[in-house]
Amino acid sequence: MFRKGSELLRVLVFLVAFSTVAGALCTGYTTGNWMIDAGDICANASETIYLTGNLTVNGVLNLTDVTLVANTTYNGSISITVGATGSLNLNDTDGLMSTTNDACNITANNSLYRFKFESYGGLNITHSFVSYVGFSNNDNTINNFGIALFSNYSNVTYNNFSNMYTAVYPGSDSSWISFTNISYNNFSNIDAVAIRLQNGTNSTIEGNWIAYNAGFTAIYLSYGSHYNNVINNSFAVLTGLGVNAYLSDYNTIKNNTILGGTEGIKIEASHNSTLTNNTVLGSTTACIAAYDSENATIQNNTLGLSTSYGIYLNNATYALIQYNAVENGLRYGIYEDYSTNNTVFANTITQNADDGIAISFSNYTTVLNNSITLPVLTLTVGTAAIYVYDGYYNVLNNNTITKAAEQLGIGSDISDQTEFLSNLAYGNNTINAKQIRHFGVSEYACPNDASVVIGDLNTSSIIVAGCNNVTIADGMISNGDIIAFYFTNNSRINNATVNDSWAGAAAYYSENCSINNSTFSNNSYGMISNVATNTTMKNNSVTNTTLGAMWFVSTFGEFSYNNVNSSDTAALYAILSTANNFSYNNLTNNSFGAFIIADSDGNLFEANNLSYNSVAGAYVYTSKSNVFVNNDLAFNADGYWLTYAANNAYMNASIFNDRIYNNTRGIYVDNASGNNFTSVTFDNNSFHVEFNASNNNYVVNSTFGAYLTNQTLSNNSAYDVLLNNTGVDATKLGFEDATSNVTVSYFVNVAVRSAATGGVLAATVTATSQNGVPLYTLTSPAYRITPAYIAAQTPVNYTPHTFTASLAGYSSNTAGAIITADTTVTIYLTLLAGGSSGYTPSPTPTPTPTPSPSITPTQTEEPGTPATPTPTPEPTKRIQVTAPAAAATLSPTTQAPVQEETPGSGDWVPIAAVLVVAAAAASWVAWKALKK
């Protein structure tokens, strides 16, 4: 019996044989529930039926070219249910998907509210349009699942599904749903899942087109969905997964084409899966991924354009990965993570921007007969064709590698010797058609106490592991990998040449190894000391590298007399390395001369030439107690750049006796404290010293040129600094940032001379400010007066001072002056009657002035020699106190010493008054002229 509308309206259906009695059945508009009872058969064609109530089919309902519209007023207000005894069949007239005018159309009357569709009986939907079925109520109820199939043998073919949360759901929490056929449908604009099986088995999902799926996954085999075939489907413009199998075994995923999405095919805790002949392109995480799964077969797939992984295994075991083509990815080709007993065989991996095959924390993997070609440009320096990050008993055999100079052929990052030696890289692995030679780990035993001649091997790489007292020498490697010691002690690399390779030479986890007298050019790395002790790198030439010399977690080593230039990053890069000696090197024309970071403490940098580097001569970051002494830093953007760097012991100079000149900034101190710059010569830098958010740094006894503007010296100290340019007005030295905190102290070198009797001992000079307060008294104990402070003023307050000279047997004399950079004060003392004192020096010819040569990074500038005035005989003895009258050029290397006058040394010359900064907020300079 078919019931339409209210319970009072009934239409009797007569059954004759197996045919349907003609009549106007299943038509029109209804205001109530519809029910087709068991045993009833209803057929309709080319009609529009509006549902305002629920439709329940316990009999047979055949709809052909019917539009069925659910007039929903809220989500789930109307439902279509096929009972266990019922059968619903939807189809078109001609059986062709290409003609849509005769198709059934199942939809809601608006896009806001959707209806429910559940089948517990027979369901066949073909050549129909289905939309706005199923909805999300933020839980896992049946309402989410669109066409929900709770029975076996359903067929859903050649339909168009759109605007649904989940389109087709054959699933159950408690029983198997089997033999479902979902084929040749089009799915578009699906919110979560196009096709989801839950406990669905022995079903076929074939030939479907799924596009613009914006949700979790396009096809989801979940929770016990076994023995299914997902074949010949096409996916485009996905934002989630393509095919996902979760807790589902023995599924075949074959001949699918998947474009976009996060992971093309993903199996999780699913065993004995077969993934074959699929094409997956443009995945953002992985083209194919296997997690917590056993016995997966991944073969003959074409995978490319992934932004992360071509094939990714995580906690996978006994997987067979073979005959795949992995191409043009932005990261890894095949990546195995925390996995065991897998085989990677005969894959072709080309043009991926990171490692071709990576084995990370994985054991018992066999990598055999693969062909790996790395691109010219890769994502990072150190990209490898095959890389073992960690793991035991992995075997690499008969792999063919083609790469450019910047990449590594076969590499590892294993810190345990037993683990490292357990991995066998042996048997015909080649890089650019040359075999890799391994000693101590594969086909060759350790050549202990012996020499290996590079030129005899015709090799692309030499690896010595677990050996002792080995010498590798005399020959060239070109277009290969590296010469490297692993867990090898007391060994040497001498007179080697490595060009156009990943690296020149290295010592990994080794002790007392040396790399000497070798040439490395056009490599990614020049030399490497990695977790090594007492490494020596000496007399080597490194040019045109990404990084010149890398010191990583290395101690007590020596890097000396090397020439490193034209490195893209740094000539010397030290990280977590302590107590090393980096001295007498030329580190020029790089981005950084030295790059010292991350607790690289207590290293000595002595007599290096750190010049012509585009960023900084030396960069120090979060490292302390490094000592830089007698270095030259010139023509860099920054000479020194100290950031978060501290030397906490005051007067334990961090930068001592260096020459810093012709840089944009001599020293830039950024968020750094407790550093000391002592006896440093600054010349011709745009800014000599600049502080930013830095405290308690000290500039001591240093020589400055003319440029001291824009200094930020608040909370730092500068004193005993020498002005190397008398043309600079002390009132214009530029303490703009801390003027009120600056105190300037002056000192005077006083020489006593007499044209008649020569030097005078024990003279006294008193300096008095304008208010009559004596500021300081000086005495000459040995023919000169030791420098001492005699005045204290702010930089803009140079009021008149009175200088009084006295000595027993002489009349005292006084002179006054307002001190500037070019002030000269002369005080005459008259010999009292009957007095006689002093020494008459022998006359000395006037020397010829010597010009100062040009400054270069490798040349020390000598001071020009000022002309010595010819002494004029005076009838009276006098003491002369002077401030500089003309410029005197000092050596950029060291401050000119104060010279002692001795009897017979010639005439005395005026000694200049010198400006000294002694302030907790200032750094500036003074000048003095000395007798040659």
Q: Where are the alpha helices (DSSP H) in 521-563?
A: none
Tokens of 736: 């703009």
User: Could you give the CA distance from residue 629 to residue 610 in angstroms, rounded to a whole number?
Assistant: 12
Mean pLDDT of the chain: 76
User: Could you give the CA distance from residue 129 to residue 144 in angstroms, rounded to a whole number?
Assistant: 19
- Per-residue pLDDT averaged across 198-202, rounded? 97
Helix, strand, or coil (residue 422)? helix
Q: Please list, in sequence order, all residues whose beta carbon lies within 8 angstroms of the beta carbon of residue 554, skipping any fewer than 6 positions away.
A: 529, 530, 531, 532, 533, 535, 574, 577, 580
Supply the pLDDT for residue 905.
29
CB atoms within 10 A of CB 309: 28
User: Could you give the CA distance from residue 207 to residue 255 in angstroms, rounded to a whole number?
Assistant: 10
CB atoms within 10 A of CB 453: 11
620-647: pLDDT as tens digits: 998 888 999 999 999 999 999 988 866 5
887 pLDDT higher than 90: no
Enclosing H/E stretch for 528: strand 525-530
Supply the pLDDT for residue 691.
74
User: Could you give the CA distance from residue 35 to residue 53 in angstroms, rounded to a whole number?
Assistant: 10
Q: Judge whether 169 and 194 are in contact, CB under 8 Å.
A: no
711-730: pLDDT as tens digits: 444 455 554 444 433 333 33
Side chain identity at residue 72, one-letter code: T
Strand partners of residue 545: 567
User: Could you give the CA distance from residue 69 to residue 105 in angstroms, rounded to a whole number?
Assistant: 8
User: Could you give the CA distance from residue 782 to residue 771 in angstroms, rounded to a whole number?
Assistant: 32
- Per-residue pLDDT averaged across 790-796, rounded? 35
Output b/e per residue, 404-421; b: 16+ Cβ within 10 A: bbbbbbbbbebeeeebbb
User: Could you give the CA distance from residue 368 to residue 719 in angstroms, rounded to a whole number?
Assistant: 69
Sign of CA dihedral 123, 129, 132, 136: positive
Helix, strand, or coil (residue 682)? strand
699 pLDDT higher than 50: yes
CB atoms within 10 A of CB 139: 7
Helix, strand, or coil (residue 876)? coil
Query: What are the domain boundaries of the chain?
Result: 747-843+871-932
Supply the pLDDT for residue 640.
94
CB atoms within 10 A of CB 717: 19
Side chain identity at residue 282, one-letter code: G
Side chain identity at residue 729, one-letter code: D
Tokens of 832: 């009292």
DSSP3 helix / strand / coil % (the chain, rounded to 5): 0, 45, 50
241-263: pLDDT as tens digits: 999 999 999 999 999 999 999 99
Q: Judge whether 382 and 408 are in contact, CB under 8 Å.
A: yes
- Tokens 């803009």 label which residue? 796
Which of 23-32, 68-77, 584-593, 842-851 is predicted least confidently? 842-851
919 pLDDT higher than 60: no
819 pLDDT higher than 70: no
Which of 100-114, 361-375, 415-429, 621-635 is predicted least confidently? 415-429
DSSP string, 721-768: -EES-TTS-GGGS--TTSGGG--EEEEE-BEEE-TTT----S-EEEEE
658 pLDDT higher than 80: yes
Per cent of the chain over pLDDT 90 is: 45
291-309: pLDDT as tens digits: 999 999 999 999 999 999 9
Q: 705: pLDDT confidence band, cut at 50, 70 and 90?
A: low
User: Could you give the CA distance from residue 910 to residue 881 in angstroms, rounded to a whole number?
Assistant: 7
Pick the closest to residue 824 from 883, 746, 881, 886 (CA basis): 883
Tell me the backbone φ, ψ of residue 693, rounded to 5 degrees: 50, 45
The residue length of the chain stands at 932
DSSP string, 797-813: ---EEEEEEE-TTEE-E
Q: What separation, in Å, do the N-terminal and C-terminal C-alpha atoms of the chain show?
A: 129
Beta strands at 536-538 and 209-211: parallel, antiparallel or unpaired: unpaired
893 pLDDT higher than 70: no
851-870: pLDDT as tens digits: 333 333 333 333 333 333 33
DSSP state of 417: H
540-585: pLDDT as tens digits: 999 999 999 999 999 999 999 999 999 999 999 999 999 999 999 9
Tokens of 365: 């993997």
User: Could you give the CA distance from residue 131 to residue 111 in angstroms, rounded to a whole number?
Assistant: 9
Strand partners of residue 401: 372, 431
Q: Please list, in sequence order, all residues whose beta carbon lies within 8 angstroms of the beta carbon of residue 175, skipping any fewer than 6 positions away.
A: 199
Q: 909: pLDDT confidence band, cut at 50, 70 and 90?
A: very low
Helix, strand, or coil (residue 419)? helix
User: Could you give the CA distance from residue 165 to residue 173 in angstroms, rounded to a whole number?
Assistant: 19
User: Could you give the CA distance from residue 17 to residue 40 in angstroms, rounded to a whole number?
Assistant: 12
Supply the pLDDT for residue 228.
98
Tell me the backbone φ, ψ of residue 159, rounded to 5 degrees: -110, 165
DSSP state of 440: S
Helix, strand, or coil (residue 421)? helix
Q: Judge whether 676 and 655 are in contact, CB under 8 Å.
A: yes
Enclosing H/E stretch for 418: helix 417-422
- Per-residue pLDDT averaged across 36-58, rounded? 86
Rg (CA), the chain: 44
Output b/e per residue, 364-391; b: 16+ Cβ within 10 A: bbbbbebbbbbbeebeebbbbbbbbbbb
- Tokens 């859903």 label which residue? 156
Q: Judge whether 843 and 906 are in contact, CB under 8 Å.
A: yes
Tell me the backbone φ, ψ of residue 53, rounded to 5 degrees: -130, -170
504 pLDDT higher than 70: yes
Enclosing H/E stretch for 911: none
Tell me the backbone φ, ψ of residue 613, rounded to 5 degrees: -100, 135
User: Could you give the CA distance from residue 251 to residue 228 in angstroms, rounded to a whole number?
Assistant: 5
749 pLDDT higher than 50: no
Q: 883: pLDDT confidence band, cut at 50, 70 and 90?
A: very low
User: Could you give the CA distance from residue 455 to residue 474 in angstroms, rounded to a whole number?
Assistant: 6
Burial of 395 (0-12, 13-18, 19+ CB in 10 A): middle
